[in-house]
Amino acid sequence: MQRYRAPKMSCGHCVSTIDAAVKEVDPHAVVSADLASHQLSIETQVDSARIAAAIRAAGYENEPVVV
């Protein structure tokens, strides 16, 4: 499970855009979002650098969340 904070993610459209970007890298990824905390949880086998890059390419700066 990878977790990210995407400060500018603020609505369902944002989540859909990020979901589509992640699924271009890993079609089997499962993306969950918490809009209140601007956090994403992503279940994927793809390395975190590629996932973070896909989210940035979709227009959303992000940073990993360490749990």
CB 29 within 8 A of CB 46: yes
pLDDT in tens, 19-55: 999 999 999 999 999 999 999 999 999 999 999 999 9
Give me the phi and psi of 44, to 5 degrees please: -160, 160
CB 33 within 8 A of CB 15: yes
pTM: 0.92
- pLDDT at 67 (0 to 100): 75
The SS3 assignment for 21 reads: helix
Q: What is the DSSP letter of 27?
A: T
Which of 33, 35, 24 is closest to 2 using CA atoms?
33
